[in-house]
Amino acid sequence: MLFWHVPAPNEALLISGSKRQKDAAQFRIVTGHGSFVVPVKQRARVLSLALREAEITEECITNQGIRLHVRAVAAFKVGDDSVSIANAARRFLSEQDNMEALVGRVFAGHLRSIVGGLTVEQIIRERDRVAQEIKDGSHAEMEKLGIVVDALEIQEIEDASGYISNLAAPHAAAAASQARIAKAQADLEATERELAAQAMKAQYERDMSIKQAGYLAETQQARARAEQSGPLAEAQAKQQVIQQQTALAQHEAELAAQRLEAGVRRPADAEAYKTRTLAEASRDQARFTTEAEAYRKRQMAEADRDQARLAAEAEAYRQMTLAESDAKATRLRADARAHAERAQAQGQADANQALAASLREGNQEVIAANVLIGNLPALVDSAARGLAGANLTVLNGTQGVNEIVAGLVGQGISILDLLKKSVASSAAPSPNGTAQGSLEKIA
């Protein structure tokens, strides 16, 4: 129909002139179905949604300062959503034929930017990465334009300075070198195989010559054996007769040796063995008897030696003990005599002092003590003479001697106390008024 418009599958119908709401687009977008367009009041335009191709040819400079001529191809189209169609319609509806050039220039700018941050090696080896970075970098701008990029490929990289050729030169040289090496190895293997074949051929010829010579020699030997078969047979018969006679003689000699062995040698060996065994037994018995007697004598000598040593040690110990006892007794007698003399001298001195004091003060007890002290040496001497003949055993040395002497002194003090009491009882004033008579009696 004249007023009914139907867009193609790869087209979008844009109808303007309709009254739209405030927030809606200024035109209506129709895709996939038809729509009625009111004449004069509305206007319908068509925007192509088909795939487009943009060739990008740009001179770029890498971060190494090398100038490259890069050719790429981008496949793009207007997006199928309403927003993309609206954005593309506002920008390209009247310039749809120039859309490839406009989009190509946008991609060219991003291509120069991406290549400027890479090296030549990275661009050559990572073309997919470069293409993806270009797509990612232009995504925002393409979205504003309503463009969707389906593919972006770098097709060719040209280098006017020869840098890329120089990069390939080492690899080409290595490949050529490997080719030459492979060819040389192939030639070497072929030569080795030819030499091996020639050696095998020469060995085969030598083996054939040896075999032919062997066949000829065997033929000649067979002919010679045939000619000498008669004399050889006769000589072999004689040799067999000689061998039989020799074997018979050896057998007779072996029988004679066996008779000698059984009748003479074995009985003689048995008698000799018996005699030798008896002699060895007698020798062993005599040696055992001799060793036993020597052992007994050695043990008796050691016992006598030990007994003599023990007796000598006992006698020495007895004499040493007696000598020590005599020395201790002598030392005790000397100590007792010295102590008695010291006690006598001290007692005499104390008696003289006490007597003098008593005479001055008229103390009868002191006078009696003085008289006792005067007689004390005689008492101590008597006690010492009594101890001189006594057999005393002192267990604790000097301390024991001191204890004995202290005992004697204690006994003397006890006697002194008894005398004091007797003197005190008998020291009463006499009819003549003096104690002189008592003192004289005590003295």
Whether residue 348 contacts residue 373, with contact meaning beta carbons closer than 8 Å, is answered with yes
Per-block mean pLDDT, blocks of 10 residues, the chain (443 long): 70 72 63 71 77 84 82 85 81 80 84 82 80 82 83 80 68 74 85 88 88 86 77 78 86 85 82 88 88 90 90 90 87 86 84 70 58 62 60 56 63 65 54 42 41
According to DSSP, the β-strands at 147-159 and 43-48 are unpaired
Q: How far apart are CA 332 and CA 388, in angstroms?
A: 9
What does the pLDDT read at residue 123?
Answer: 80
> What dihedral do alpha carbons 398, 401, 407, 409 form, nearest 10°?
-90
Whether residue 372 contacts residue 328, with contact meaning beta carbons closer than 8 Å, is answered with no
How crowded is residue 24: how many other Cβ atoms within 10 Å of its Cβ? 10
Beta bridge partners of 31: none
What does the pLDDT read at residue 346?
Answer: 87
DSSP, collapsed to helix, strand or coil, labels residue 151 as: strand
The H or E element that residue 46 is part of is strand 43-48
Q: How far apart are CA 52 and CA 84, in angstroms?
A: 15
What does the pLDDT read at residue 438?
Answer: 41
DSSP, collapsed to helix, strand or coil, labels residue 156 as: strand
Whether residue 147 contacts residue 103, with contact meaning beta carbons closer than 8 Å, is answered with yes
What does the pLDDT read at residue 379?
Answer: 62
Whether residue 367 contacts residue 393, with contact meaning beta carbons closer than 8 Å, is answered with no
Edge-first strand order for the sheet with 43-48 is 27-30, 11-16, 43-48
CA torsion sign, 338 to 343 to 348 to 349? positive
How crowded is residue 182: how many other Cβ atoms within 10 Å of its Cβ? 10
- Helix then strand then coil, % of the chain, to nearest 5: 70, 10, 15
pTM of the model: 0.34
Dihedrals phi, psi of 294, to nearest 5 degrees = -65, -40
The H or E element that residue 194 is part of is helix 163-227
Dihedrals phi, psi of 78, to nearest 5 degrees = -75, 140
Structure tokens at 95: 């310039």
What does the pLDDT read at residue 384?
Answer: 61
DSSP, collapsed to helix, strand or coil, labels residue 62 as: coil
* 147 CB-contact burial (10 Å; exposed 0-12 / middle 13-18 / buried 19+): buried
What does the pLDDT read at residue 439?
Answer: 39
Q: Name which of 429, 417, 443, 439 is nearest 359 in CA terms.
A: 439
Write b or e for each residue in 354-374: b if 16 or more Cβ atoms lie within 10 A of its Cβ, otherwise e.
Answer: bbeebeeeeebebbbbbbbbb
Q: How far apart are CA 443 and CA 441, in angstroms?
A: 5
CA 54-56-57 angle, 5° bins: 145
Query: What is 203-260 written as a DSSP string?
Result: HHHHHHHHHHHHHHHHHHHHHHHHHTHHHHHHHHHHHHHHHHHHHHHHHHHHHHHHHH
Q: How far apart are CA 420 and CA 365, in angstroms?
A: 6
Whether residue 120 contacts residue 31, with contact meaning beta carbons closer than 8 Å, is answered with no
Q: How far apart are CA 188 and CA 306, in angstroms?
A: 104
What does the pLDDT read at residue 237?
Answer: 77
Q: How far apart are CA 352 and CA 344, in angstroms?
A: 12
Q: Name which of 99, 94, 97 is nearest 78 in CA terms.
A: 99
Residue with structure tokens 């989009």?
103
